[in-house]
Structure 1
Amino acid sequence: MQFAKPTPAHIMRSPVIILIVINLVLVLAVGWLLFLQSPPKGELRIVTPRGDLGADERATIDLFGNARASVVFISTRQRVSDLWNRNIYSIPRGSGSGLVWDQVGNIVTNYHVIEGASAAQVQLADGRQFNASLVGASPEHDLAVLRIGGIGFSAPAQIPIGTSSGLQVGQNVFAIGNPFGLDWTLTKGIVSALDRSLPNENGPDIRHLIQTDAAINPGNSGGPLLDSNGRLIGINTAIYSPSGASAGIGFAVPVDTVMRVVPQLITNGRYIRPTLGIESDEDINDLLKRASGTDGVFILRVDPRSAAERAALIPAQRTRRGIAPGDVIVGLNGEPVSRLGDLLARLDDFEVGQKVKLTLSRDGKEREVSIELEPGS
């Protein structure tokens, strides 16, 4: 019996090798052909024509275009001295916003924008720059007036003045300013609330503030808040923000307050407050309130020959046992009063020469007196 002879291994592998070689040649050939071909061209995109802007968009564009020229950029500098070589340097202090108030070149801004500064420079929207001088300031209202220009000065058109007494929560408002140094920025929002009050380190509470959710950031201070007709309704002054940036809660000094304060700053260099002719102190007042259980403003001193003296107001007296309370102001024109800052701020709603009715408490009894307001010192 004969058996078939086995085929050598190298003879069996030959067809496989040939197939592999052929496949490699085909792959390389196809790859080379693809490489030689030009890449496919992308689809040519056509610009789609934009439709007409909405009426609200056109109104906003016009509002900004009309108001922009009146908004200014304010940068301040501060003098510092070198104790080693006695040199005096001027270093940048901060920046803010403002608006051109009149043709003379008066600029309205916040007091805190220029507080502590030794010099200020104002830049207009057209690029002109001026060194500014301080005309007057009212820290109690966080308002100040600077002046630029001179002979031949040409002021841009001023923003129309509106009123803040008729504002309604929900209406549109627009803020223009220079947040973080980004000049001439427009933000939009609504009136979130009215008649807000904020404590003021420089004196009475700042009252009647407009609250808005229009984005207001550091640098917006002193810039205008406008209504949808482009009228000035406030001066942006503060934000409530744990982080220091806009958190949707901003405040503006109402234009009705601006209209009462700014003319006096321009004329007198300061704001003359209406007063009763009394003296008190917030810290002492708080101590007396806790000790006596009486909520109001304790009169610590009555100025000689003042309206308060003519109305026979009685101040607190020092005794061996401490301080004996005199008259305590618990109401003004029928509205309760509990804090000195609130009393002073509410008196600011009146003018010198007007009469107000005080409700006084003493020894558990109340009485009312009428007092004519006098100019403060």
Structure 2
Amino acid sequence: MIPSPRRFPPGLAILLALPLLAQAPAPTPAQPPSEDATIQRFRAHAAPRAVAQRPPLSAEERNTIRRFKEAKPSVVYVSAIAPVQDLRTLDITKIPTGTGTGFVWDEWGHVVTNHHVITVEDQGKRVAEVDEVEVTLADGKTYKGRVIGTSFAYDISVLQVFAPLGAMRPIPIGRSSDLQVGQAVSAIGNPFGLDHTLTKGVISALGREIGTGYNTKILNVIQTDAAVNPGNSGGPLLDSAGRLVGMNTAIAAATGASVGIGFAIPVDTLNRVVPLLIARSRLEPPRMGFETMGSYEAQQVFGITRGLVVRAVEPDSPAGRAGLRALEVDAAGRVKAMGDVLLGYQGRQIENEGQFMAMLELESPADEVVFDVLRDGRVIKVKLQLKATRKAEPTSI
């Protein structure tokens, strides 16, 4: 009789099979390739990437590109040049003292920039102005320029550039009186010496006031968030039609760099002031009949840091008739007697030549003006009568 096969509970069958499975050899895991092998393998795939197709430029992009190309030839790089004398050899060399931006105003070679672009600074304080500049056009060629007109009150200077007139392309002029907040604008300039840099933004506000380095305020200033940095000063602010609507002038930032708040002198102010500067060099100051020593020279020679040293006086003039005294020098140019030092004008302190000129630009002098004068160690008042000799044409003061 054949014995019947033994039956085990299902769980016990699994347990009995475990020893047999444990005796099977375990598979060897694959070793990853080494780093060097991976690098060499992927080097074989080196090839230029396929260019992804893009849709056509937007209408806004095309307009920005077109306006930049149109305006670029009108924007110049301005370097101020100042003579510096070696105290040991007495040799005079010319060195650049500052750089900024300017733009071609008309077909006669006039360039407009900020006055502070062409000043000499000592420890952050403006102490003198320069007469000579170098102007580099968009084609990279550099030409000599001369400062022919300056408004201290508005921080505007006009340069005559001695370049071929055919190379000077005037920038189109717009209007600032009808600008609106939110309107698109572009700035072109040379921030940090990076020539012909374009930044874009909008008009953030209108009717602002900003101060100048000569204790005056410029009114109706345009505020923009187009990036404006050191070196942008004197450059154009353009509307979307490529017209000049302002001149970039100042930054509202403790760091001295752009934080999205820049200011531009409105073009309506430029269009009023610039022609006067071209024609007359100044904004019609009254004829007083005296000349002063530059603030920087007075500081170097006499140690005077405030006020104006009277260098010369015209005899038949308000200053001459009032008895204002000038420096006395000998044939070799050595000082024999100190002249008057003008400390105040109409009750206000005179800090330097630029600040005094700014006061005259913004105020119509009375028929009689009073100076506080330092003479022989004491301060006296000297009155100048201007009514009988006032002229329309400006002269030196």
Which TM class, normalised by the smaller chain length?
0.5 to 0.7
Report the Cα offset of residue 31 of structure 1.
Answer: 8.2
Report the counterpart of residue 4 of structure 1 in structure 2.
none
Q: Which of residues 181, 197, 200 in structure 2 aligns to 1:169?
A: 181
1:42 correspondence with 2:45: yes
Matches within 5 A, 1:209-224: 209-224=221-236
Report the counterpart of residue 136 of structure 2 in structure 1.
123
The secondary structure found in structure 2 opposite 1:190 is strand
Report the counterpart of residue 237 of structure 2 in structure 1.
225
CA distance in 1, matches of 2:217, 2:198: 29
Q: Which runs of 5+ in 2 are unaligned?
A: 1-27, 120-128, 287-344, 351-362, 371-391
Residues 31/186 of structure 1: CA separation in 2 closer, same or farther (3 Å cut): closer
Report the counterpart of residue 194 of structure 2 in structure 1.
182
- For 1:244, the aligned partner's letter is G
Q: How many residues align?
A: 267
Report the Cα offset of residue 142 of structure 1.
Answer: 0.7
Report the Cα offset of residue 268 of structure 1.
Answer: 0.7
CA distance in 2, matches of 1:81, 1:156: 34
* CA contact 2:209–2:218 (8 Å) conserved in 1: yes
- For 1:135, the aligned partner's letter is I
* CA contact 1:74–1:97 (8 Å) conserved in 2: yes
CA distance in 2, matches of 1:93, 1:82: 16
Report the Cα offset of residue 203 of structure 1.
Answer: 4.8
- For 1:146, the aligned partner's letter is L
Identity among equivalent positions (%) equals 48
- For 1:167, the aligned partner's letter is L
Report the RMSD for the aligned CA atoms in angstroms.
3.5
CA distance in 1, matches of 2:185, 2:346: 39
Matches within 5 A, 1:316-355: none
Report the counterpart of residue 261 of structure 1 in structure 2.
273
1:304-345 per-position Cα deviation (integer Å, ceiling 9, x unaligned): 4x9xxxxxxxx9xxxxxxxxxxxxxxxxxxxxxxxxxxxxxx
* CA contact 2:182–2:204 (8 Å) conserved in 1: yes
* CA contact 1:102–1:155 (8 Å) conserved in 2: no
* CA contact 1:76–1:93 (8 Å) conserved in 2: yes
* CA contact 1:122–1:148 (8 Å) conserved in 2: yes
- For 1:48, the aligned partner's letter is A
* CA contact 2:106–2:171 (8 Å) conserved in 1: no
Report the Cα offset of residue 244 of structure 1.
Answer: 1.1
CA distance in 2, matches of 1:223, 1:245: 16
Report the counterpart of residue 363 of structure 1 in structure 2.
none
Q: Which runs of 5+ in 1 are unaligned?
A: 1-22, 285-298, 307-314, 316-373
* CA contact 2:280–2:394 (8 Å) conserved in 1: no
Report the counterpart of residue 212 of structure 2 in structure 1.
200
Report the counterpart of residue 326 of structure 2 in structure 1.
none
Matches within 5 A, 1:356-375: none
The secondary structure found in structure 1 opposite 2:116 is helix
* CA contact 1:104–1:155 (8 Å) conserved in 2: no
* CA contact 2:73–2:137 (8 Å) conserved in 1: yes
Report the Cα offset of residue 42 of structure 1.
Answer: 3.2
Report the counterpart of residue 80 of structure 1 in structure 2.
84
Report the counterpart of residue 148 of structure 2 in structure 1.
135
CA distance in 2, matches of 1:27, 1:64: 61
Report the Cα offset of residue 139 of structure 1.
Answer: 1.1
The secondary structure found in structure 1 opposite 2:153 is helix
The secondary structure found in structure 2 opposite 1:270 is coil
Residues 248/375 of structure 1: CA separation in 2 closer, same or farther (3 Å cut): farther
- For 2:203, the aligned partner's letter is V
CA distance in 2, matches of 1:121, 1:257: 26
Residues 135/31 of structure 1: CA separation in 2 closer, same or farther (3 Å cut): closer
* CA contact 1:99–1:109 (8 Å) conserved in 2: yes
Q: Which of residues 264, 271, 276 in structure 2 aligns to 1:252?
A: 264
Report the counterpart of residue 103 of structure 1 in structure 2.
107
The secondary structure found in structure 1 opposite 2:218 is strand
* CA contact 2:117–2:233 (8 Å) conserved in 1: yes
1:145 correspondence with 2:209: no
The secondary structure found in structure 1 opposite 2:54 is coil
The secondary structure found in structure 2 opposite 1:154 is helix
Residues 118/302 of structure 1: CA separation in 2 closer, same or farther (3 Å cut): closer
Q: Which of residues 15, 37, 59 in structure 1 aligns to 2:63?
A: 59
Bigger shift: 140-149 or 175-184? 140-149
CA distance in 1, matches of 2:236, 2:201: 13
